[in-house]
A and B are shown apart, each in its own frame.
Chain A
Amino acid sequence: MNWIALLLTCLLTVSASAQTVLTGRITDHNGHGLPGANVMLRGTYDGTSTDSTGAFRFSTSRKDTATLVVSYIGYEPTRQKITIGPNPISVRLNELANELNTVVVTAGVFEASDSKRMTMLKPMDIVTTAGGGADITSVMNLLPGAQRVGEQNGLFVRGGSGEEAKIVIDGMIVQNPFFSQSPNLQSRGRFQPFMFKGTSFSTGGYSAQYGQALSSVLLLNTTDQNQNEGLGISVNLANAGLTYDHATRNASISATGYYGNLKPLFALVPQNVDWTHVPELGGGSLTYRLQPSKTGMLKFYGMYSNSVVGMNFVDPSSETGKTAFNQRNTNIFVTSTYTDRWANGNWQLMSGLSYSHDVDATTYGTLDFGRGTDRLQGRAMLTRSLGGKLGNQLLFGTEGSRVTYRNAIAGTPYSLVDTYGAVFFESQVYAGRKLAIQSGIRGEYSSVLNRFNLAPRVSMAYKTGLYSQVSLAYGQFYQTPDARYLYRNTSLNYERADHLILNYQIIRNKRTFRIETYYKNYAQLVREFTGPNGTLGPYDANPYRFPWGQTNNTGYGYAKGFDLFWRDQQTIKGLDYWITYSFVDSKRLFQQFPTLATPSFISNHNIALIGKRYFEKISTNVGLTYTISTGRPYYNPTNPTFLADRTPAVTNLSFSASHLTHIGKNLTILYASVDNMLNTRNVYTYLYTPNRNDGSAPTRYAVGPASYRSFFVGGIVMLSRKAKVDVRQL
């Protein structure tokens, strides 16, 4: 029996003496200890967590060598062969690339996204900003780099005109993003902000993926899923509509229909416009999304709208000072995209096809000034991720479109067809986590010009601190001249802009500061010579005139300036406010300009102060916005210096509130807004009567908004019990 006891004792002693204590320390690459790191020997239960100094100590029965596995959140896990023994082991871990420690190319970009954590805006900001009227472009106009031009449609970015900005939905250019413009009145965008999960507003230096915009692209990405379920009713002072949403496991459908008539609103808000047919509109949309596989996504979106408007508008060239304007617009837009990825997401495809049809049946007095466009566009883009821990990638793609333009000018029809093709290539390369370089090139061909262009773009960003970075971007941008020039002259060339942008930003603890400075050079701009034998004719300030004169590409110009953005969601609890300031200095020689001058759409200083607060107890969201735009040049025929006069500054204080409640058992959102609370008599520009033969002084007409102080109320009732309301949409 004794020897059994001995054997057992031996065995136990052996196993006890075989225990070796391993010690060591886990640090980051700067040598700081990492507390709570997980340390173990591979294939065994032997291991521990590091203490508050990064040190560890555990025992193992392993002998000779083993593999030590170390992991820590946010760091690259490592494994290394070690010799079991008393010597302390030290392991350094490298931080994983993440949104905080990896640089992102940001020059020129202003992004609103939910999926990315480091953005200055969230999609909700578009809906909750007072003075924006839940209109995407109106809110973009409050961002740095953009400026407000009250009487015209479009995004005016850094000295660019409204035509120089393109609006792109899921990669497809939208030909008519705004409801048709009436003389001297701005109209809303056609798209609901709720449709989009992400918005990226580029004020310059943007990617080679996009072209045909001299100054800016606004990229809108549609949502992948329904935000609602069941039927909803919406009623406000101008509009009544129905929405229906339904989702299954891998598909979803949304439908909307509405009828709008501004009579009730106009009965309450005094109008500056002599309406002969109060704006009336009807339409609908259909969205269908299908996920045929785990990675694939097919989206279809179609919309139709029809609108009618009539007015007697201020027309200094008419004897009575007014001209009758009537317009009926029909618009169809359909777009379908398919995205997929393969090989663990290393290959990504984005493809799309879209068609739009837009007709304005327009008359000025009795003359036909109708216009229309048809656009067919296709696009395909492949992205190849180059692996690695950083986001190195190559991207290449192609797009093509066929656009038909039609205009009737005082009854004479003009039309042209432009077939356009482009290829683009872009690479994004990280040199470590601190430096990223994105370089691309885009080649384009337009059949109507019968010319090619090649536009290089490059941008880079360097991380200067944990929360801050600088970016630099340079790019060349081409745009086919306006169709109205091409009707009479197809030998024109592309207009061109070169952008140089320097940006610094710091985002820390819900506070954001961003400054961006830029220089933009315009070349090959179209000039018009309306005088005899191709000489410069007298300047005609009518914005709706047809360019009858000879044209060439000898125009040029520049825009330079800087933008500031400050947003703070931290200092005062519950209050979120931002301040934007944009300064631009720009001059051009283009169109019928006799000399280099600041165009009438430029205002040198634009300031926006935006504040919002959500009151949880009364479930009400309240916002205030104050904007100042300094005066813009206007053409005064009595002033010998061209475009030397300035309008007074335009200011606006607006308020909005929305409240969530129940009507019966149905969730209901009520909203109200007041625009121009101070009832300021803003003037956007002045128009003059033509020189009279009798030598009498011309008369000046002021062009302002359709109404001064105005208000709006409405509500949405969800009929389905399953309905949910997003607080963000208040």
Chain B
Amino acid sequence: MKTLVITLLTALLGITTPTLAQSPQYKQAMTDALTAMNNFRGQPSATDLLTVANQFERIATVESGEWLPRYYAGLNYVYLGFMGKDQAEKDKYLDQADVNLKAAEAISPKNDELAVLKAYIAQSRMIVDPMNRWQQYGPLFQSGIEQAKAMNPANPRPYVLEGSSLMYTPAQFGGGADKACPVLKQAMEKFATFKPASEFAPGWGKQQVEPLLAKCK
């Protein structure tokens, strides 16, 4: 009887005792935030994206040793970067994506998913004003993609970004379906075998590729 009480109390207190392993609170918070993110239907509103980005940033503030909350916060700011109402607002979101990327890189320096995020931010920056930013962000995008591929050849996401970027680049600038389709197919092949490294590790990309593949013969 006494043992049971002690066990119960320990279990209850254990929740608030910091441990080296991921706390149940972290797991719960991440699960909640990722669920919110996965529940976005169609085009999420800026408010929804910001709410989720805030959720991840709050987790990141408590769990200063975890790169994933920073990663997802950054990713949501990239999405916001596509949605901002003008250049200044888009850049403001992307500045915040950069803040999260830098913080994540400090926790996990050689990380293929963060290289993908870096490329994604560069792509988003470019789309803000392609004519004027091509030169500055084109090479940054490319280097992020290449770093990610080198660090983890099994990761499909650099291929997702590269393929979709090629698809939206006119043929005369070196893009087009002919160039994009082989890359997108590579991405799909990699998705077939890809296993996320951990419970919360990134797994997105397949849904982005599928509609684009429809344009391939």
Contacts and interface: CB of A to CB of B under 8 A. Distances in A.
Contacts of B29: 45
A651 interface: no
Interface string A15-58: 00000000000000000000110101011110111001000000
A52 to B, nearest CB: 8
Nearest to A69: B61
Interface stretch (B52-60, B109-117, B148-156): B52-60
Contacts of A124: 131-132
Q: Give the one of B29, B55, B133 with max A CB within 10 A.
A: B55
A43 B64 CA distance: 10
B172 A47 contact: no
Interface string B186-210: 0000000000000000000000000
A44 B135 CA distance: 43
Interface in A629-671: 660-662, 667
Contacts of B172: 619, 660-662
Given A36-B50, A40-B58, A619-B170, A73 B96 contact: yes
B135 A227 contact: yes
B170 A114 contact: no
A69 B62 CA distance: 12
A45 B25 contact: yes
A45 B59 contact: yes
21 contacts: A4-B1, A4-B8, A36-B50, A36-B51, A36-B54, A40-B61, A42-B61, A45-B58, A45-B59, A49-B54, A49-B55, A52-B47, A69-B61, A73-B95, A100-B88, A115-B136, A122-B132, A509-B86, A667-B174, A724-B174, A727-B134
A662 B175 CA distance: 13
A661 B173 CA distance: 8
B5 A74 contact: no
A71 B172 CA distance: 44
Given A38-B57, A71-B57, 12 more contacts: A4-B8, A38-B54, A45-B58, A48-B54, A49-B54, A73-B93, A73-B96, A114-B132, A619-B170, A662-B172, A726-B135, A728-B135
A114 B135 CA distance: 9
A8 interface: yes
Contacts of A619: 170, 172-173
B139 interface: yes
B182 interface: no
A727 B58 contact: no
Interface of B: 1, 4-5, 8, 12, 25, 29, 46-47, 50-51, 54-55, 57-59, 61-62, 86-88, 91-93, 95-96, 130-136, 138-139, 170, 172-174
Interface in A317-340: none
Contacts of A52: 47
Given A36-B51, A40-B58, A725 B173 contact: yes
Contact of B47 (A36, A43, A47, A71): A36
A581 interface: no
Given A35-B47, A36-B47, A114-B136, A47 B88 contact: no
Interface string A420-431: 000000000000
Contacts of A115: 136
A727 B131 contact: yes
A725 B130 CA distance: 13
A156 interface: no
A728 B54 contact: no
Contacts of B93: 73
A343 interface: no
A227 B61 CA distance: 40
B44 to A, nearest CB: 13
A246 to B, nearest CB: 14
A267 interface: no
- Counting from the closest, the 9 A-B pairs by CB-CB distance are A38-B54, A36-B50, A49-B54, A49-B51, A47-B58, A40-B58, A619-B172, A122-B132, A726-B135
A521 B86 CA distance: 43
Nearest to B80: A73
Contacts of A45: 25, 29, 58-59, 62
A614 interface: yes
Contacts of A728: 131-132, 134-135
B29 to A, nearest CB: 5
A225 interface: yes
A44 B62 contact: yes
B57 A727 contact: no
A629 to B, nearest CB: 30
Interface in A100-116: 100, 114-115
B173 to A, nearest CB: 7
A724 B174 CA distance: 8
Q: Give the one of B55, B61, B92, B139 with max A CB within 10 A.
A: B61
Contacts of B95: 73
A40 B59 CA distance: 10
A509 B86 CA distance: 8
A725 B138 CA distance: 11
Q: Give the one of A42, A45, A660, A724 with max B CB within 10 A.
A: A45
Interface in A1-19: 4, 7-8, 11
A7 B130 CA distance: 65
A73 B92 contact: yes
A81 B22 CA distance: 28
Interface in A239-268: none
Interface in A689-730: 724-728
Contact of A727 (B8, B59, B91, B173): B173
A307 B12 CA distance: 88
B62 A614 contact: no
B88 A4 contact: no
Contacts of A73: 92-93, 95-96
A566 B4 CA distance: 81
Contacts of A225: 139
Given A117-B88, A227-B135, A8 B61 contact: no
A64 interface: no
Given A38-B54, A45-B25, A225-B139, A7 B5 contact: yes
B54 A43 contact: no
Contacts of B54: 36, 38, 47-49
Contacts of B130: 727
A454 B8 CA distance: 83
Contacts of A616: 170
Contacts of B139: 225
A11 B59 CA distance: 27
A726 to B, nearest CB: 5
Contacts of B136: 114-115
Nearest to A119: B132
B58 A4 contact: no
